[in-house]
């Protein structure tokens, strides 16, 4: 049951990697704004089903799909399942990502492959599959990082490179699909309190001195930026990005 007064009423969204953290906050915010939402998860089935239950409690259609973002076949299948169950896809949020931090000389080829396969190839594959279904006026939003623009501390060179790739990818797609009024944008979180980068974690001591607002961000603060880009008020915003980073890139 969709309230037609909500900004995303009648829209269908896929949010990748949304069983927890930023992805979960995004999925719930899109549902609160009226969208039916599919999410993917890799391992956290119980957490994913809890997110689905929260969205269904709002009267939305919702489903969780097991899909490893590093697996192209699984990513494509997740898109097709979303279309089959929700009847289409209007909004794609490429949220699934991994962070491996540490000295570059200590990072293994396996570490680098993981970062590239999830943070770059996974986005390419999922977006290409979704664009076969996204109608004119649709939305593609990728969760980048402030590290795609600046690298404020050591130990994340490969991760930063993967997020920098999303900057050019976003601008290129915006050029390619603007004639169909499909907008393509980034949200660039800074340090957000999640399992991947907790506010009391090992990176916090090096991060906090670089922030203008001296705290870690909240997942809901990222979700609000995504919801804006997904909504009707951002129809003329494309090839761009929003920093949600407490000023670390200032």
Buried b (16+ CB within 10 A) or exposed e, 133-163: bbeeebbbbbbbbbbbbebbeebbebbbbbb
Contact criterion met (CB below 8 Å) for 123 and 145: no
pLDDT at 3: 80
Domains with residue ranges and CATH for the chain: 12-244 (3.40.50.720)
Helix spans in the chain (H): 21-32, 45-56, 72-86, 109-116, 122-130, 157-177, 204-207, 219-230
Specify the residue for token string 């203008």. 212
Task: Give me the active site residues, please.
Answer: 159
Adjacent-strand bridge partners of 178: none
pLDDT at 206: 83
Contacts of 165 (CB under 8 A, 6+ apart): 119, 120, 148
Can you say how many angstroms the Cα of residue 121 is from the centroid of all Cα atoms in its chain? 14
For residues 24 and 54, what is the distance between their CA atoms, to the nearest angstrom? 10
pLDDT at 68: 97
pLDDT at 85: 98
pLDDT at 204: 86
Q: Which residues of the chain register pLDDT less than 70? A: 1-2
pLDDT at 197: 83
pTM value? 0.96
Q: Which has the closest alpha carbon to 21: 168, 143, 123, 183?
A: 143
């Amino acid at each position: 049951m969709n309230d037609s007064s909500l900004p995303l009423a009648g829209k269908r969204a896929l949010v990748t990697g949304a069983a927890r953290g930023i992805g979960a906050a995004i999925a719930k915010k899109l549902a609160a704004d009226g969208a039916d939402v599919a999410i993917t998860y890799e391992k956290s089935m119980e957490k994913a089903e809890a997110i689905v239950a929260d969205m269904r409690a709002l009267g939305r259609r919702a489903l969780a799909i097991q899909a490893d973002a590093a697996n192209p076949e699984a990513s494509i299948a997740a898109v097709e399942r979303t279309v089959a169950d929700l009847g289409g896809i209007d909004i794609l949020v490429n949220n699934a990502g991994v962070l491996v931090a540490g000295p570059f000389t200590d990072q293994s080829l396996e570490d680098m492959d993981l970062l590239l396969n999830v943070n770059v190839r996974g986005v390419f594959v999922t977006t290409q599959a979704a664009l076969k279904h996204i109608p004119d006026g649709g939305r593609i939003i990728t969760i980048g990082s402030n590290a795609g623009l600046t690298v404020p501390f050591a130990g994340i060179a490969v991760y930063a490179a993967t997020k920098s790739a999303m900057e050019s990818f976003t601008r290129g797609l915006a050029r390619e699909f603007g004639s169909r009024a499909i907008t393509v944008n980034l949200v660039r979180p800074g340090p957000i309190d999640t399992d991947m980068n907790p506010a009391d974690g090992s990176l916090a001591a090096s991060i906090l001195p670089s922030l203008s607002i001296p705290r870690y961000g909240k997942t809901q603060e990222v979700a609000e930026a995504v919801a804006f880009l997904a909504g009707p008020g951002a129809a003329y915003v494309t090839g761009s990005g929003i920093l949600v980073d407490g000023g670390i890139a200032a």
